[in-house]
Amino acid sequence: MSKSYRLLVKNAKLVVLICNNGEKFLTKHGMQNLSVIENGSVVIGSDGLIKAVGPAEVIGAQYPEGSFDKVIDASGMCVLPGLVDAHTHPVWAGDRVHEFAMKLAGATYMDVHRAGGGIHFTVEHTRAARSSELLGSLSSRLVRMQRAGTTLVECKSGYGLDLQTEVKMLEVIEEARRTLPINISSTYCGAHATVEEATKDILQVQLPRLKEQMSAGTLRVDNIDVFCEQGVFDLGSTRSILQAGKDLGLNINFHGDELHPMNSAQLGAELGALAISHLEEPRARDMLEAGVIVALGSDFNPNAYCCSMPIVMHLACVNMRMSMPEALAAATINAAYALGRSHTHGSLEVNKHGDLLVLNTTRWEHLIYQLGGHQELIRYVVIKGNIV
């Protein structure tokens, strides 16, 4: 018979990431001063939500161990909130390893794209793939992400570019949401590459269909994305597509200034975007100094095959001059904020989802420091109080 509480994790060093400012994100000062409980415990209830977080002796006195389905003694270990991957393109068919070779030999992303490769190659294979095949590969990619500590992941469509395949991709994401433990935030990214009359088709055919399916309850979509880029979607088309998505109640979270400066930040501010991805012109360090809320994502896609947020954090530290606490905040609470989920995810706080990592180390920084070392370091990944 199941007991009153699902899980107790006791005697750990807890990195709780509480936002003391009453906001649900951290900027520079908060990111540099993460809240830590040296010897703490976390209680997760049978509904999968956090019931208590605090010093081990206080929790121990209030919650008898017999009332838990499972107890993890995490002495000598660290506990972090589950990692959040704020940006991925994980639904696709076809193999693009040959493009990696082309790029190593000097081709640019746009050279490959114009030669009919890149997104177009993936679109052709994804259109031809059966849903079951897409679900199979999506599930194994999500499991790899989960093993590397991701407990909430954003998943984009965008390799269909036509009504039928975009809906197929979103339905596959929906099926993954129903069948896998990992939390998913889904994004309609039909404006990922231009095909003839793309903007018109998105506005007049695809978005109205999403609206129908969303109101009928047959599809859930959380965000809308557009690849705002020279030779892809210009500012004007980006504005109208994002606005139409916003009118359906979707969060705006779009690709801006990835390859060329496009003034995407200004457009994002004008539309009330929740997040803009890439922005590769401004340096992350300058954005942090200016008080911008910085989040991290893997951008997992056939052009950037990385399932691991610990590796993303390592790269952010080494290449973008972020500190380890900044990278952790950017890959948890701030990434959750970028998905509109920071009231329920991204930190160890009462009433949030019981999603956490137990690390085999007394110093949580090893998760970032040891490049590719997460397999040894992550002892348990917990989602809604269940070890997955």
Closest residue by beta carbon to ligand NIG: 303
Whole-number Å distance between alpha carbons of 323 and 328: 9
Task: State the binding partner of 157 from ligand NIG, Fe ion, none, CB within 5 to 8 A by kind.
Answer: none
Task: State the binding partner of 258 from ligand NIG, Fe ion, none, CB within 5 to 8 A by kind.
Answer: ligand NIG
Q: Minimal distance in Å, beta carbon 231 to ligand NIG?
A: 12
Q: Minimal distance in Å, beta carbon 299 to ligand NIG?
A: 5
Q: Minimal distance in Å, beta carbon 156 to Fe ion?
A: 7
Whole-number Å distance between alpha carbons of 98 and 120: 14
Q: Minimal distance in Å, beta carbon 298 to Fe ion?
A: 9
Task: State the binding partner of 174 from ligand NIG, Fe ion, none, CB within 5 to 8 A by kind.
Answer: none
Q: Where does this chain bind Fe ion (CB under 5 A)?
A: 299
Spatial CA neighbour of 93 closest among 127, 117, 118: 127
Task: State which residue, 255 or 341, has the beta carbon closest to ligand NIG.
Answer: 255
Q: Minimal distance in Å, beta carbon 256 to ligand NIG?
A: 10
Q: Minimal distance in Å, beta carbon 128 to ligand NIG?
A: 16
Q: Which two three-digit tokens encode residue 79? A: 């506990």
Task: State which residue, 259 or 356, has the beta carbon closest to Fe ion.
Answer: 259
Task: State which residue, 150 or 301, has the beta carbon closest to ligand NIG.
Answer: 301
Closest residue by beta carbon to Fe ion: 299
Whole-number Å distance between alpha carbons of 295 and 287: 11
Task: State the binding partner of 186 from Fe ion, ligand NIG, none, CB within 5 to 8 A by kind.
Answer: none
Task: State which residue, 118 or 385, has the beta carbon closest to ligand NIG.
Answer: 118
Task: State which residue, 28 or 87, has the beta carbon closest to Fe ion.
Answer: 87
Task: State which residue, 227 or 337, has the beta carbon closest to ligand NIG.
Answer: 227
Q: Where does this chain bind ligand NIG (CB under 6 A)?
A: 89, 118-119, 122, 227, 255, 258, 299, 301-303
Whole-number Å distance between alpha carbons of 32 and 119: 38
Q: Minimal distance in Å, beta carbon 384 to Fe ion?
A: 27
Task: State which residue, 41 or 237, has the beta carbon closest to ligand NIG.
Answer: 237
Task: State the binding partner of 227 from Fe ion, ligand NIG, none, CB within 5 to 8 A by kind.
Answer: ligand NIG
Total number of residues shown for the chain:
388
